[in-house]
């Protein structure tokens, strides 16, 4: 009940521009028509209309009705569609039949919709498609399910599965839904529980702080490799001059001769030049 209330609040807060391939699964046909009616008053939405249609198609079947007679509308309504008109401009109108895509088989599960179904719904889908247990699912389907649900399994003899105080009882008490798959005299139990939503904490910055934060994020993407384990090792990695390159003639040019009197040193230099 709380989940349905939250979904209703989220759908009212959504607009066509904020709709994503994931959040579109939280809204219903009436919400889509409401968003389209408001959004088509925006020139930017009209210009990128195809983009928003592609997002809606992730979760809804869309049928454009060229001749929207009462008989045709009624026929689509009987099939579970919601029929509505879209006013593109003063002269052009579209009639759409919308229907939420059903999640009936494991192949209907996607990374976008997996967190928008309950554990009970997942068990229903698995039960409709199962045969060989959890391992009979392809790795790609398992990965999708595990992205939204905590899954654990156990295989025990029929008479031991429901043993008091056992894993089955503890998992059910912890809120897990369970599917039992018969395997001869044994039973595989698949436990499923929706993973808690991890909310990202957001801080409010003024425009200048936000720009600085973005620049820091960009710098953070650059990996700086530190080849030095500590500062004490730095000196040991400096190459010493090659002793073979040092001669008697050039040795004095590489060292301070330490003359006490600068005038004496200058005089010696003049005498050397005269020679």
Q: What is the pLDDT of residues 14-35, one digit of tens each?
A: 889 999 999 999 999 999 999 9
Alpha-carbon distance 156 to 190, whole Å?
A: 12
- Under 8 Å between Cβ of 128 and 175: no
Lowest mean pLDDT among 161-165, 221-225, 268-272: 221-225
- Under 8 Å between Cβ of 179 and 127: yes
Residue 177 to residues 1, 62, 159, 165, 190: CA-CA distances in angstroms? 17, 33, 20, 17, 8
Position 271 pLDDT exceeds 80:
no
Query: What is the percentage of the chain residues whose pLDDT exceeds 70?
Result: 67
Name the pTM for this structure. Answer: 0.64
pLDDT tens column, 32-90? 999 999 999 899 999 999 999 999 999 999 999 998 899 999 999 999 999 999 988 87
Which has the closest alpha carbon to 146: 191, 102, 183? 191
Residues in CB range of 7: below 8 A, 6 or more apart: 26
Helix%, strand%, coil% for the chain, nearest 5? 50, 15, 35
Average pLDDT of the segment spanning 105-112: 95
- Under 8 Å between Cβ of 97 and 65: yes
């Amino acid at each position: 009940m709380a989940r349905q209330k939250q979904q209703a609040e989220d759908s009212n807060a959504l607009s066509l521009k904020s709709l994503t391939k994931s959040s579109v699964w939280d809204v219903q046909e009436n919400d889509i028509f409401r968003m389209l009616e408001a959004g088509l008053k925006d020139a930017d939405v009209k210009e990128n209309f195809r983009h928003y249609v592609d997002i809606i198609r992730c979760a809804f079947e869309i049928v454009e009705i060229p001749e929207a007679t009462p008989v045709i509308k009624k026929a689509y309504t009987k099939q579970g569609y919601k029929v509505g008109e879209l006013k593109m401009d003063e002269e052009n109108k579209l009639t759409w039949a919308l229907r939420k895509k059903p999640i009936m088989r494991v192949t209907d599960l996607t990374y976008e919709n997996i967190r928008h179904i309950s554990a009970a719904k997942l068990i229903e889908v698995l039960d409709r498609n199962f045969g060989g247990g959890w391992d009979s699912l392809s790795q790609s389907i398992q990965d999708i399910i595990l992205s939204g649900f905590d899954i654990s399994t156990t295989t025990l003899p029929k008479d031991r599965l429901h043993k008091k105080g056992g894993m089955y009882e503890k998992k059910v008490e912890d809120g897990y839904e369970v599917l039992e798959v018969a395997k001869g005299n044994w039973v595989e139990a698949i436990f499923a529980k929706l993973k808690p939503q991890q909310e990202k904490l957001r801080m409010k910055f003024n425009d200048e702080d936000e720009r600085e934060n973005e620049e820091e994020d960009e710098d953070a993407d650059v990996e700086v490799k530190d080849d030095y384990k500590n500062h004490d090792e730095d000196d040991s990695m400096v190459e010493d001059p090659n002793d073979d390159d040092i001669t008697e003639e050039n040795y004095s040019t590489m060292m301070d001769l330490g003359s006490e009197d600068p005038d004496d040193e200058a005089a010696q230099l003049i005498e050397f030049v005269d020679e």
